[in-house]
Chain A
Amino acid sequence: MRAVVKDGIAVFYPQGFLDGNSAESMLSIDDIKATENLKTDLVLVSLKKVIFFNKNGLEIFVRMLIKVRKANQARIGFCDYDIKKFNSIMNFFKEDLSFSLFNTLETASLFASSFKNKQKNVLIYSENKSQRSVMAIDLHNYGHNPIITQTKNEFDEKKKNSNSYDVIIENTHMGSMESGTISTRVSGNAIIYNVSSFLDAGIANSFNIHYHNNSLKAGFRLFIFEAYQVVNMNVHAVNFFSKLASSSAEYNATICFVGLSTEKTTTKFHETLEDSGIMFFEQLDTLLDDKKLLAELGASTATNIKDKRSLNKAIITQLPNFIEATVDTIKMMTNAEAKKESASIYTIKIQETENKIASSIGFYGDIDGMIILIFPKSIAKKACELLIGEETDDKELIMDSLGEFVNIIGGKIKTLLADNNIRIKITLPRTYDEVSELLTVADNRKGVQVDLTFDDDHFSFFLTR
C-alpha cells in the first residue's frame, strides 16, 4: 500500500480489518522505502476505514513507521478515529506510546509545517497535563492560537460554543519526534522552509540546494525560512545563508527569515545576514497577509532571470516523453483527445491570455529544466473534476487542484523518463491565475513550445531550462 501525500503529510488508508496477519500484508518494506523518499514531516495511518483492529495489527504498522521516523525525523502516528478507537489504542499501549494520535487529519495538519493555513483558533483538551502543554507549545510554534482547557467540564462548556474555534482537539496524543528536518511548502507562491534547533554546518547537508535552485528556475522568487523553533546559529550557518542569498539574488529572488529574533543570533551575525540581502520579519502571517509587501518581495510577480540556458540534446531527445506524459495525463483525466497543432523552438508565445491559467514545474537530476503549461480554464476545470468530484467555479479550489493535477503530470513524466533510465526529481508546481504573471518569468526565454488542442480548446506546452 502506498501513502497519499498532500501538504507534506503522507497518509496510509488501510480498510476493513487490521490484525497481525493483515497488517503484515498491507505495508511492505518497499512501501516504507517509498515513504522515506517522500521526505514528509508527518506520516500517518488513517483509521477512518478500519472497522476492527487489535494490538498486533497496530504494532506492525508502528514498527514500520518508526523506520520512516529514523530515516526522516518525521512525526508518525494514527489519525481519523472515534473515542472508542482512541481508548482502545491508549489501553493497548498504555505508557509505551511513542507515536502520535490525532483525532482527525485536520488536527494532524495543524502540526505539519507544510500546512498552508495558519492562525487557527484551536481548543485543546487532554486529561494529561503535559500533553496539553506539548500540544499548546507546538501549535503556537506552528503559528496557531491554542486555547487550553484544564478540566473536562471547562472543555465541554467551551465546546458548546464551537463556532468560536476553527479546530477542536480532543482524544489526541503527541508522541516523540526527532528534530532537525527542513520541510518545504508553498504558500501564495512563496516557498517556505521550516528550520529548527541549533543551526550549524549541518544545514548544508540537510538543505536541498538542488530543489532550491530548481524552484528558482520554476519561477519562485520569495523564499522564507520559518525559524520560530531555531535556538541559535553559528558562523557556518551564517555563511551558508549569506551564500544562498547571493546566489538567489542572481534571479532577483528574496530570502527572508521569520521568527528569528535578535536574541537568537548575535548582532554581528544578524548584520552579516542583512548585508547579504536577507530580510527579517517577526511573524509569518504578517508577511503572508500583506499582499503589497509580498508583491514587492517577488511572491506574486517574478522577474525574468539573466541566465537563460539553452536546451541541450539530452532534453530535446526526451521531448516526446514530456509531451506524451502531458497529453496522456490530460486525456486520462478528461477523456479528451489531443491534437498537435504546431511545435517551434523559440521563445514562448501566447496568442490569447484571457481565460487561461498556467502552471510551471521544475525538474532536476540526470537532466534539468522547467515545464510550463498554459491551460484554457475549461480544460483545467475539467481535469480537476476527477480530483474534486464535481463541477466547481471556486477559484481557490481549482488552483489548488491544478497544482495536484500538474503534480500528476510531473509524476507521469518522472515515470516515463525512468523507463528510459533517466532519473529526475520534480519541484512543487507553481500556479498562475493570470498568464501575464507567468510571462514575467518566461518571456524571452528560449525553449520548445508545442501547441495542442483538446476538444477545440488550445493548450500550450513549453519546455525550457
Chain B
Amino acid sequence: MITKDEIDNFIDKIPPAPKALKETIRLLVDGELMKAAKIAETELPLKMYLKNLVNKAVFGFKHEVSEVSQIFGILGVSGSQQAVYNYMLTLLSPDEWILFNLTEKTFYELQARLSANYNKILKHLNIVDRDIQSAISLIPASIIVTEAFFKNHIKDIEIIRATKPLDYNTILKRLSGMDLFDICIKIANKWEMSDKVSEILQTASGVKPSENKDINLIGKWIHLLLFYELSQPMFIEAGLNQFLDFQVDFVEDIYEDFLKIMKVES
C-alpha cells in the first residue's frame, strides 16, 4: 500500500522554507520584531494568515488586530515565530482534503486552537523557550502526511479497520518502517528547526517517550492537548479522532492539571 520509496519521494518534494519566511524567522530569532514585521508585511499571504489566526476567538482579543507589527508585538518573539511556522505548514496542506473532512478554515482553526492552548500550558509550566513554543506548529504536519499517504486507500483502510483497531500511524509504521512523526521530523529538518523540536515531536506521538525529563513532560502535554482538540465535534466530524492512537497512560499524571488549565468541568 505505502512503500519506503513513496515516503522518500514525499520527503524529497517538501520545499525548503521560502526565503522571505526564513529571513523573517532569522530576524525573530535575533529579537528584531519590527524588522521581521516589515518583511512579513510584504508577504501578502503570510500577512492574511497571521491576521486570520490571531483574530480567532481562541486568542481572545477584543479588537481586531490587522497590522503585522501589531500582531508580532502582541505575540512576542516566540509566539510570532510559532505563528510563522504555522503559516509555513499551511504551504504543505492540500488544496482539497479527501481522507479527512477538513477545509482550509477548519485546518486553520485547529492550528489556532493548538497554538493558543499550548501557550496557556507553557505559561502554566513557566517555560519561555522559542524552540519549545514552535514545536506545536509541526504537530498538524502529521495530519497532512496522513492525508497525503492514505487518501488513495480510504476503502482499504476502512476494511482493515473493521477487522482490527489500527491507527494510521501504526499501519504506516508496519508497512514502511517509518511512522508519521518520523516524517514530520524530516519536515522539521528541512526547515532547519532545532533538534529539540524533533525530539519533542517524537515524544508527542505518545509511543516514544524521551529520556530527557523536560522534553518528555512537554511531549505529554502536547499529546493530551492534541487529543483534547481532536475530541472537539468539528475535528471528530473531520475524521481526526481516530487517526492516531491516544496513549492514556502516558498522560495520566498531568491530566488533573490539564483539566484545570482548560477549565474542563468534570
Chain A residues in the interface with B (C-beta under 8 A): 1-6, 11, 13-18, 21-22, 24-26, 48-52, 54, 328-329, 331-333, 335, 385-387, 389, 404, 407-408, 411-412, 415
Chain B residues in the interface with A (C-beta under 8 A): 1-3, 153, 155-156, 158-166, 170-171, 174-175, 224, 227-228, 230-233, 236-237, 241-242, 245-246, 248, 251-252, 255, 259, 264, 266
For B155, the closest partner residue in chain A by CB is: A415
25 A-B pairs, CB-CB below 8 angstroms? A1-B242, A2-B158, A3-B162, A4-B165, A5-B162, A5-B163, A6-B163, A13-B242, A16-B227, A16-B241, A26-B241, A49-B246, A51-B227, A51-B248, A331-B1, A332-B160, A333-B1, A335-B1, A386-B166, A386-B175, A389-B174, A407-B163, A408-B160, A412-B156, A412-B159
A16 near B246 with CB under 8 A, answer yes
A22 near B236 with CB under 8 A, answer yes
For A419, the closest partner residue in chain B by CB is: B155
- The listed residue (B228, B237, B266) touching A54 by CB distance below 8 A is B266
- A6-B163, A52-B266, A386-B171 known; A25-B227 Cβ under 8 A: no
Specify the main secondary structure of chain B where it touches its partner: helix
**A408 CA to B156 CA in the complex, in Å?**
9
**A24 CA to B175 CA in the complex, in Å?**
33
For A22, the closest partner residue in chain B by CB is: B231
B164 near A387 with CB under 8 A, answer yes
Q: Closest Cβ of chain A: how far from B209's Cβ, in Å? A: 17
Q: Closest Cβ of chain A: how far from B256's Cβ, in Å? A: 11
Q: A3 to chain B: which residues have CB within 8 Å?
A: 162
B233 near A24 with CB under 8 A, answer yes
Q: Closest Cβ of chain B: how far from A207's Cβ, in Å? A: 25
B163 near A18 with CB under 8 A, answer no
The 6 closest A-B pairs by CB, nearest first: A16-B231, A17-B231, A16-B227, A25-B236, A25-B233, A15-B246
B228 near A17 with CB under 8 A, answer yes
Q: B1 to chain A: which residues have CB within 8 Å?
A: 331-333, 335
* Further 17 A-B residue pairs, CB within 8 A, beyond A16-B230, A329-B156: A1-B241, A2-B161, A6-B163, A13-B165, A13-B242, A14-B241, A16-B228, A17-B227, A26-B241, A48-B248, A51-B251, A52-B259, A332-B1, A335-B2, A386-B160, A407-B163, A412-B156
- The listed residue (A11, A333, A385, A389) touching B165 by CB distance below 8 A is A11
**A5 CA to B161 CA in the complex, in Å?**
9
- A15-B230, A52-B259, A385-B174 known; A415-B236 Cβ under 8 A: no
